[in-house]
Amino acid sequence: MTTTRPATDPPAADPPASDPDARVRELAWTSYARVVAIIAVAFIHVAGYTYANPALEGTGTWHVAALLTFSTKWAVPVFVMVSGALLLKPPRDRSPMTFYRRRLSRIGIPLVFWHLVYIGILFYQSEGSPNLRKLAASLLRGEVYTAMYFFWLILGLYVVTPLIWPVIDAFSTNALTVVALGITALPAAELTLQRVIPLLAGSSSLATGPTVVTQFLPWVGFFLLGYVLKDVVVRGARLVALAVATFVICLGFTLQVTVLPQLPAPLPKAVNTLVPLSYQGWLLALGSIGVYLLCRSIVSPTSRLAAPAIAGRVRHLGNLTLGVFACHLLVLFVALRVLDLPKGATTLGMLLALNVGVVVVSFVVSEILNRLPLLRRTV
């Protein structure tokens, strides 16, 4: 039988502080979700090199790289949703300054430290003479290096969190769900309109994008959805149906870049216009919600996966995910040069080994940094 918490029910009460095992069980799914998501992030970036290698296009290795690159795009939205589940319940102490001191100190040091690290890599790649104007522009966009926008995204969500607490208090779960779905749909609708309007006008649109100030805006809907869906548990046949639907949707990301271009015109252009392959696109939103609900439902408080002995270890790995995110690009940068793979892995075995190696080494590096007194706050 399938059960979910009705949207009109009050949220489940937090386990009492005197029962730490109950709290570990209740929150175990968030650790699993973070670990799964950070592995997916690493796959996106490692396999992306192989997918972008024109010499491999159409080969089996290229297709696997496309699968690893695009069918894992749900990773960042899932991270955001987990953050919403953990942060949006209004605390007893509603002081914004208390929240900002705690959270900004958590994200501020890693943000500065890792930006300096990757700016150093850019200097190394340009042999000490980078284009400073382009570097400054990239920094203002929040994209100084691959995936560094995530720090600005999280920083922006932290800034608005105290503003959302009164909304959480005032709205019913049904109303919050409608608001969260609406805000999540807005960026997808905007992307579609940005592609439709130039077609209707007979012109091409100028390239646009967020800045360090607006990186977080398209993610507020996911942030709210993480909170309103945190108590939804799907079981039985509906869980199987959810898993199948999520798999098909995620596979759709890959098919959109591998199979769709081979179909007769104008079908590829029409599909890409109406269903943009983007972090704020329709498919990715649905896939991300599916992965989030699967993590929440499979790792329920009563499951073996939530047992304190197991969940405690996974929680430790979950606590390392910010460090893994920050350092995995550095690990990949070094690996590609040590192995002399400027365009990424070129065989299937090498591709799989490189993905696993970067994930494992990144967790090890994050653990080491976490144990060093002077560097633990960077992760």
b/e per residue, 69-94, with b = 16+ CB within 10 A?
Answer: bbbbbbbbbbbbbbbbbebbeeeeee
Q: For the chain, what is the mean pLDDT?
A: 87
pLDDT recorded at residue 3: 38
Rounded average pLDDT over 81-93: 91
pLDDT above 90 as % of the chain: 58
Q: Lowest-confidence range among 31-40, 92-101, 276-285, 351-360?
A: 276-285
User: Six-digit token pair at 334?
Assistant: 């070094």
Cα–Cα nearest to 366, from 336, 329, 328:
328
Looking at residue 340, what DSSP letter applies? Answer: T
DSSP 307: S
pLDDT at 202 over 90: no
151-162 confidence digits (pLDDT tens): 999 998 998 899
Give the confidence band of 272 by pLDDT, cuts at 50, 70, 90: confident
Q: Where are the domains of the chain?
A: 20-378
Model confidence over 286-328: pLDDT tens digits?
999 999 999 999 998 888 999 999 999 999 999 999 999 999 9
What is the tens place of the pLDDT at every residue in 66-78?
Answer: 999 999 999 999 9
Alpha-carbon span 79 to 37, nearest angstrom: 7
In the chain, % helix, strand, coil (3-state, to 5) comes to 70, 0, 30
Q: Looking at residues 208-212, what average pLDDT do you find?
A: 60
Lowest mean pLDDT among 47-51, 59-63, 205-209, 356-360: 205-209
pLDDT of residue 331: 97
Written as one letter, the residue type at 224 is: L
Dist CA 171 CA 193 (whole Å): 30
Q: Report whether 234 contacts 275 (CB < 8 A).
A: no
Mean predicted confidence (pLDDT) in 341-360: 96
pLDDT value, residue 242: 97
Question: Cα 101 vs. chain centroid, distance in angstroms?
Answer: 24
State yes or no: pLDDT of 1 exceeds 70.
Answer: no
SS3 label, residue 338: helix
Instruction: Count CA atoms closer than 13 A to 166's CA, side-chain side.
Output: 4
pLDDT per residue over 17-58, tens digit each? 556 678 888 999 999 999 999 999 999 999 999 999 999 999
pLDDT at 84 over 50: yes
228 token code pair: 């309103």
Categorize the per-residue pLDDT at 12 as very low, low, confident or very high, splitting at 50, 70 and 90.
Answer: very low
pLDDT over 60 at 208, yes or no: no
